[in-house]
Structure 1
Amino acid sequence: MLNAVLVMLVVGGLMGLVLGVASIVFHVEIDNRIDQVISMLPGINCGGCGYAGCKGMAEALVSQDTNTVSLCKPSKMDAKIKIAEYLNSTPGPDGKVLNVKP
């Protein structure tokens, strides 16, 4: 019985070590502009823009898959202008600003 407990402690410790190293090696830098753009979008998640909801639209804008906010039909023009101004003035983790049209 003592052997089984020791084996489980060693296996658990090794797995914890492997997971800790993996979390450092496979760390992904997250662009905070996506969350900010999601909060500026209407939040209807209608998919009218051609993306899977407002999160998909925000990710497409930040990753430059699209460069126009006008794809979002339910969003008002002042919100579109605000999103474009934010993305055109706020640099990402790589230090680059985007060229987005309202």
Structure 2
Amino acid sequence: MRLQRRIGNHQEEGGRTMIEILYPLFVLGVIGIVLGLGLSLANQYLTVEEDPRIDAVEKLLPNYNCGACGTPSCRAFAEGIINGEVKNLSRCKPGKADKHFNPILEYLKEHPNPDGSIVDVKI
């Protein structure tokens, strides 16, 4: 067998030293830690606060996600109600006035906009 000298270590030709094996693992570990810290900081500083009234109004809707109201989902319809884009609750075809729409109107009267105004929506 022919021996080869590499950085002061004797090894067989074609063999690997421990440093050559562990170096890529160390580099990948450092990259993983750096990216993990970056994601953690991004999550901390780039979060978007949503209006909790959207979730409450969505729960009061029938949640069929049928799209008959003209929006892709009940969540989008609830966002439209809260943002003032939807003026008529009867656009929701599966919804019933006594079961869905009246509780929404009551909820919106009890929980006004941040500026104190009440969302203007009708049945």
TM-score (norm 2): 0.71
Kindly provide the CA deviation profile for residues 58-96 of structure 1, in whole angstroms up to 9, marking residues without a partner as x: 11111221132121122111121210121232145x464
From the two aligned structures, give the one with the greater strand fraction.
2
> Would the aligned equivalents of 1:84 and 1:100 in 2 still touch at CA under 8 Å?
yes
The structure whose RCO (Cα within 8 Å, separation 6+) is larger is 1
How do 1:31-70 residues align onto structure 2 when only pairs under 5 Å count? 31-70=51-90
Mean alpha-carbon deviation: is it higher for 83-92 or for 46-55?
83-92
1:82 and 2:93 matched: no
How far apart, in 2, do the equivalents of 1:68 and 1:99 lie?
9
Q: Structure 2: which 5+ runs fail to align?
A: 1-20
Q: Structure 1: which 5+ runs fail to align?
A: none
Structure 1 residue 16, shift from structure 2 partner:
0.7
1:72 aligns with one of 82, 88, 92? 92
- What's the RMSD between the two structures over aligned residues? 1.8
Percent of pairs with identical residues: 38
1:6 and 2:26 matched: yes
TM-score (norm 1): 0.83
